[in-house]
Structure 1
Amino acid sequence: MAPGAAAADGAGGRTPVTTAATAPPTSAGSAESSEGPAWPDPRADALAGPGLGSLSVASLLASSAVRHAERTAVVCGAERVTYAQLWDQARAYAGAFRARGVGPGDRVAVLVPNVPDFPRVYFGLLALGAVVVPVHLLFTADEVEHVLRDSGATLVVAAAPVLAAALPAAAAAGIPVVTLLVPDEQRDRVPAPRLEDEAAAAEPLERLVPVPPLAPATVLYTSGTTGRPKGAVGSHLAIVENVNVVLIDCFDMRTGDVVFGGLPLFHTFGQVCVMNTAFRVGATVLLLPKFDPATALRVMDAERATVFIGVPTMYGALLQAAGPHREGGRELPPLRYAISGGAALPEAVLDRFQQVFGAPVHEGYGLTETSPVASFNRVGEPAVAGSVGFPVWGVEAEVTDPAHPERIAVLPAGERGELVIRGHNLFKGYLGDPDATEAAVVDGWLRTGDIATKDDEGRIRIVDRAKDMIIRNGYNVYCREVEEVLVRYPGVASVAVFGVADEEHGQEVHAAVVVEDSEAGRTFDPGAMVAESRKHLAAYKYPRVVHVREAMPQGPSGKVLKRELVAEYEG
């Protein structure tokens, strides 16, 4: 069998994700249910088959509802929900889904912002053994329709703010919709029932439906840097093990911690590293429907946040908001530490954040396909700026020669190459796309597409995305190296370096810059910035063109979308 060819368990299009040999029953309490396929035969050969064990991501909330019943699980505006309440609400939603016929292996698309209804829906579906398909909230109707058709979703759960895209997409795909957060005065104008009403009328799920550890839990659509987004299938085992590993070895998150959850929950970073990890340990998650730095500081200050988890763009935005926050007589939140991921955090921004907020910043690395954490600078140990730390427990990472895509050719320590990863955290494959899975996974190793180095101690540094690397006059220009220089220039809030096609040089080095404030914008001199960069960068590396912008195009996790910058300035 070709490496990774069966990683998606044959789950393409509308084919069921689970099979009769491995799928759990749909009923909450009986393994003899006639509503779904039977549990594996206990008389089968113990050395073969999927085994009799079960594991559910939903247990992360279910267990804490017992252990931390009266602790606050989520805070969103004036709404405060305890663990016991949240689990009861999730079970009520599960009852409504079950009444609609949703069961093990069924894929349900979810378009819900960062509000308590997201975990209610997420854990309600997982408690049934169903598969959650979170959808980017900024997708157009056409993009939502692609996800619905590609995932084989049988139901759409859509919150009121995104119905304009969800309803026509679901209609085109022929899939029923249930809504959330539709006010009473508008219910008659929305051509879909409210989940809240159905949950009130249904019998709540009594207990978790057992699922095999490798059963699919989520289908998360990648950002689609080339062509249509692909659905990465994540297993219950990979997600739960990732949560447990980072809690034991990496994050030092504690019961009673207050964790800022500004990352979108439809994305793996916010979903696993914030929500699932915090729920596992009994911490409180602060939810913001949409990230705004001034609001984030105000909420973190009021709730006395102890842990901040975000992407580099959020760090820069918080630093900009910190000055006015203090001028207004407010304190900064008492952060114990901060975690950065999703993209490289410039060292200058890291240093400034640590000075202003008095909290050490620990960087990590991961992908949707690695559930997501693959390496980390462990909390409690000195973090090395510019490094994403060591592979997490049970995970291997190597740097391989990208000139040999058909095999894994490990390079010596210190050499640059493509980072490859294998371990318990790998996804099951791309839904319905075995060719893409086979191209991404070679001999059990995931090709990440990131250029990295690994030192003699095993510490990893990400140099650049392979697709972002610029080749100017035949020389490799690594964007991160140039960005580290440019972001230190006075008045710069954020910077993105990218290559634009050029007849003379092959590619030319361009930089997009967002300045700190309007006053800096009036005095900012791109030419002076270029001149300063020439003092620190080789002649083929420094940017020839600087674009001053009000904002950067960003993806679902807050990453800067360089492909959009390239398209804009090449056009």
Structure 2
Amino acid sequence: MTRAFNLADLFEIVVDAVPGHLALVAGATRLTFRELDERADRVAHHLAAAGVGPGDHVSILAYNRAEWIEAQIGAYKLRAVPVNVNYRYTADELAYVIADSESVALIGERSLIARLGGARAGLGHLRHVVVVEDGSDEDVPDAVRYEDALAAASTGRDYGERSGDDLYLLYTGGTTGMPKGVMWRSEDIFMSAMFGGNLMGDPVAAPEEMGGKALEGGVTTMVCAPMMHGAGMWVAWIALTSGSTLVLWTGRTFDTGAVLSAAVAEKAQSMLLVGDAMARPIADELAARPGAHDLSQLLVIGTGGAATSPDVKRRLHELIPSLLAVLDAFGGSETGASGQAVEPAADGSPRFMPRGADVAVLDESLRRIEPGSGAVGQLARTGRIPLGYWKDEAKTARTFVIGADGERWALQGDMGRVDADGSIILLGRGSLVINTGGEKVFVEEVEATLKTHPAVYDALVVGVPDERLGARVAAAVSLAGPASDPSGEAAAGATAGGVGADELIAHCRAVLAGFKVPREIRVVAEVQRSPAGKADYRWARSLYAPGGSGA
């Protein structure tokens, strides 16, 4: 059978090369490549018996666990399209994604499917539900138990030929709006987000090469990010298609001590985190308990979904002597992995070096901005980019555009400028720009500057209404020292842990233009983010609403 740059084909090539190698560690579950392949085959045959076929969509609703991986691979084997569903969503949000994706089958944990409640009745396309047991006793009617389904299904690989054109669909929530499905060709997502089978160089020329690379020996990779998000999914597939051992953090919350214990037990050589939300607690734990965690095997920490502050990177290098690099990956659901972080700009703004010439900053005429010009534009990628958004032609037309040179570009939404050396300085998302007195302020630029103060643990910057300026720059900041006012009531001039808002404002004024400097700073006990590190800007704005406390 001819093999394609198709995720199921690539996985099977690796299975055949290293069947007895440990493929997956997820809590107490340990599976070799052969065992994982057989369980995925059983998923595929069960779905096929239930009427699921090529092109049909299958929603997966679960925390990180072995069944998430099995279900995704099984769907791909069948040439069906797995749909990642965020387990943090409310019933209405869950129903929206399942309905919008037109999923005909749902595989998920009992308690999470039960959360749908009456909303399930409105899911007209959904005709088959498979329940993964999670210890709850909630009723999920008209469903098949996952293990019963697998026990009755075949392990055969009696599938037809697959294609690099088979669909990869990634639902992404972003910071605003309803979740949207980004459609990729399978071959393109492998090349753009999974490095084409070669992290440090040119992509492999043929699918069969992945078997030889697997025989060279992989890297034990621990993924702490959720599989339901692109960053976690992409790194997991880098491991699965390279013969590496994938170690999944399966805790319902990020338990720093337990994460490090798992990394030590499995001798993790690389670890994927979500920016400061995970990296900083790890640094704090290592500093608080010297010698308690033997991470001498750990060579690389990668982060996705959020950046890691320079001071956290420095501390990790000091605390983990074996560590060769802390790599912040830049990219997005619409662009794949676009590059790696380098030293921040003078004002603390994040800066990254593009992986290739297919990543650029475009001006308003959709022309490439020349390095060193100082002009600000929108980050974009050409070449292997998505087909568009699922069922949203209008948004597809706005995001995937034809540039002045005739190339098709994906606009990520981040604004930036190109430095003289070709690196790109990120200024923030265009949707979060604050217009204050006619001047534009990119919130992430100000956040980066605040985080260069040694006392700042985390920061979010927002625009709040102002009668004279239209909007003024404001911030919510938490400190690395003793906690501040948990209600968020402390305004400019207030102190916490010996550092006051006035000092932080002065720190910003030393490196930022006056109009970018926060006019108010609320020092709070904790800056609210999702467990995946996503900024909660709505909460930050609520601090400045009449009577707002951020609670």
Give the TM-score range, shorter chain. 0.7 to 0.9
TM-score by length of 2: 0.84
Contact 2:219 2:269 in 1 (8 A): yes
| Offset from partner CA, 1:287-309 (integer Å, 9 cap, x none) | 12233322222211222211122
Match of 1:541 in 2: 516
Query: Which amino acid letter does the alignment assign opposite residue 217 of structure 1?
Result: Y
Contact 1:451 1:462 in 2 (8 A): yes
Question: Which of the numbers 344, 347, 363 marks the counterpart of 1:401?
Answer: 363
Q: CA deviation at 1:131?
A: 0.5
Decide which moves more: 66-75 or 486-495.
Answer: 486-495
Contact 2:95 2:123 in 1 (8 A): yes
2:136 and 2:392 mapped to 1: Cα distance? 44
1:450 and 1:316 mapped to 2: Cα distance? 24
Query: Which amino acid letter does the alignment assign opposite residue 260 of structure 1?
Result: M
Match of 1:523 in 2: 497
1:185 and 1:498 mapped to 2: Cα distance? 40
Q: CA deviation at 1:445?
A: 0.8
The structure-2 alpha-carbon separation of the partners of 1:346 and 1:186, relative to structure 1 and needing over 3 Å to count, comes to: closer
- Kindly indicate whether structure 1 or structure 2 has the higher relative contact order, using CA contacts under 8 Å at least 6 residues apart: 1
1:234 and 1:549 mapped to 2: Cα distance? 41
Question: Which of the numbers 154, 158, 161 marks the counterpart of 2:104?
Answer: 154
1:280 and 2:245 correspond: no
Instruction: Give secondary structure in 1 for the equivalent of 2:262.
Output: helix
Instruction: Give secondary structure in 1 for the equivalent of 2:417.
Output: strand
Match of 2:219 in 1: 257
1:334 and 2:297 correspond: yes
In the alignment, structure 2 segments of 5+ residues that lack a partner are 203-212, 403-407, 486-495, 547-551
1:178 and 2:129 correspond: yes
Contact 2:40 2:74 in 1 (8 A): yes
Contact 1:469 1:478 in 2 (8 A): yes
Contact 2:380 2:412 in 1 (8 A): yes
Contact 2:455 2:499 in 1 (8 A): no
Match of 1:362 in 2: 327
Q: CA deviation at 1:185?
A: 9.1
The structure-2 alpha-carbon separation of the partners of 1:441 and 1:470, relative to structure 1 and needing over 3 Å to count, comes to: same
Instruction: Give secondary structure in 1 for the equivalent of 2:74.
Output: helix
Kindly report which structure 2 residues correspond to 1:67-466, keeping only aligned pairs within 5 A, or say none.
Answer: 67-174=17-124, 175-182=126-133, 186=137, 191-218=142-169, 220-242=170-192, 243-245=194-196, 247-249=198-200, 255-272=217-234, 274-289=235-250, 290=252, 291-312=254-275, 313-326=277-290, 329-332=292-295, 334-358=297-321, 359=323, 360-370=325-335, 372-376=336-340, 383-385=342-344, 389-392=352-355, 396-402=358-364, 404=365, 408-414=366-372, 415-424=375-384, 426-443=385-402, 444-466=408-430
Decide which moves more: 158-167 or 553-562.
Answer: 553-562
| Offset from partner CA, 1:271-324 (integer Å, 9 cap, x none) | 01x210011111122212233322222211222211122221222222222223
2:226 and 2:6 mapped to 1: Cα distance? 22
Decide which moves more: 238-247 or 432-441.
Answer: 238-247
Contact 2:272 2:301 in 1 (8 A): yes
Instruction: Give secondary structure in 2 for the equivalent of 1:86.
Output: helix
Instruction: Give secondary structure in 2 for the equivalent of 1:483.
Output: helix
Instruction: Give secondary structure in 1 for the equivalent of 2:129.
Output: strand
The structure-2 alpha-carbon separation of the partners of 1:392 and 1:180, relative to structure 1 and needing over 3 Å to count, comes to: farther
Instruction: Give secondary structure in 2 for the equivalent of 1:237.
Output: helix
2:5 and 2:454 mapped to 1: Cα distance? 51
Contact 2:94 2:116 in 1 (8 A): yes
Instruction: Give secondary structure in 2 for the equivalent of 1:540.
Output: helix
In the alignment, structure 1 segments of 5+ residues that lack a partner are 1-28, 30-51, 378-382
Query: Which amino acid letter does the alignment assign opposite residue 102 of structure 2?
Result: G
The structure-2 alpha-carbon separation of the partners of 1:224 and 1:335, relative to structure 1 and needing over 3 Å to count, comes to: closer
The structure-2 alpha-carbon separation of the partners of 1:232 and 1:267, relative to structure 1 and needing over 3 Å to count, comes to: same
The structure-2 alpha-carbon separation of the partners of 1:325 and 1:305, relative to structure 1 and needing over 3 Å to count, comes to: farther
Instruction: Give secondary structure in 2 for the equivalent of 1:199.
Output: helix
Query: Which amino acid letter does the alignment assign opposite residue 139 of structure 1?
Result: Y
The structure-2 alpha-carbon separation of the partners of 1:460 and 1:203, relative to structure 1 and needing over 3 Å to count, comes to: same
Contact 2:63 2:87 in 1 (8 A): yes
Instruction: Give secondary structure in 2 for the equivalent of 1:569.
Output: coil
Contact 1:297 1:333 in 2 (8 A): no
Query: Which amino acid letter does the alignment assign opposite residue 311 of structure 2?
Result: A
Match of 1:504 in 2: 468
Q: CA deviation at 1:183?
A: 6.4
| Offset from partner CA, 1:34-54 (integer Å, 9 cap, x none) | xxxxxxxxxxxxxxxxxx974
TM-score by length of 1: 0.81
2:351 and 2:18 mapped to 1: Cα distance? 33
Contact 1:499 1:566 in 2 (8 A): yes
2:526 and 2:536 mapped to 1: Cα distance? 11
Contact 2:27 2:65 in 1 (8 A): no
- In the alignment of these two chains, the number of paired residues is 506
Contact 1:256 1:283 in 2 (8 A): yes
1:65 and 2:15 correspond: yes
2:462 and 2:191 mapped to 1: Cα distance? 36
Query: Which amino acid letter does the alignment assign opposite residue 569 of structure 1?
Result: Y
The structure-2 alpha-carbon separation of the partners of 1:133 and 1:409, relative to structure 1 and needing over 3 Å to count, comes to: same
Instruction: Give secondary structure in 2 for the equivalent of 1:559.
Output: coil
Contact 2:461 2:540 in 1 (8 A): no
Decide which moves more: 457-466 or 108-117.
Answer: 457-466
Instruction: Give secondary structure in 2 for the equivalent of 1:249.
Output: coil
Instruction: Give secondary structure in 2 for the equivalent of 1:365.
Output: strand
Instruction: Give secondary structure in 2 for the equivalent of 1:514.
Output: strand
Instruction: Give secondary structure in 1 for the equivalent of 2:426.
Output: strand
Contact 1:263 1:310 in 2 (8 A): yes
Contact 1:297 1:322 in 2 (8 A): no
Match of 1:56 in 2: 6
| Offset from partner CA, 1:332-358 (integer Å, 9 cap, x none) | 453212222323333233333333334
2:231 and 2:8 mapped to 1: Cα distance? 17
Computed over aligned residues only, the root mean square deviation of the Cα atoms, in angstroms, reads 2.9
Contact 1:487 1:494 in 2 (8 A): yes
Instruction: Give secondary structure in 1 for the equivalent of 2:115.
Output: helix
Decide which moves more: 82-91 or 200-209.
Answer: 200-209
Contact 2:6 2:186 in 1 (8 A): yes
Q: CA deviation at 1:184?
A: 8.8
1:471 and 2:462 correspond: no
Instruction: Give secondary structure in 1 for the equivalent of 2:7.
Output: coil
2:396 and 2:17 mapped to 1: Cα distance? 39
2:429 and 2:297 mapped to 1: Cα distance? 34
Decide which moves more: 525-534 or 433-442.
Answer: 525-534
Q: CA deviation at 1:563?
A: 4.2
Instruction: Give secondary structure in 2 for the equivalent of 1:60.
Output: helix
Instruction: Give secondary structure in 1 for the equivalent of 2:308.
Output: coil
Contact 2:369 2:418 in 1 (8 A): no
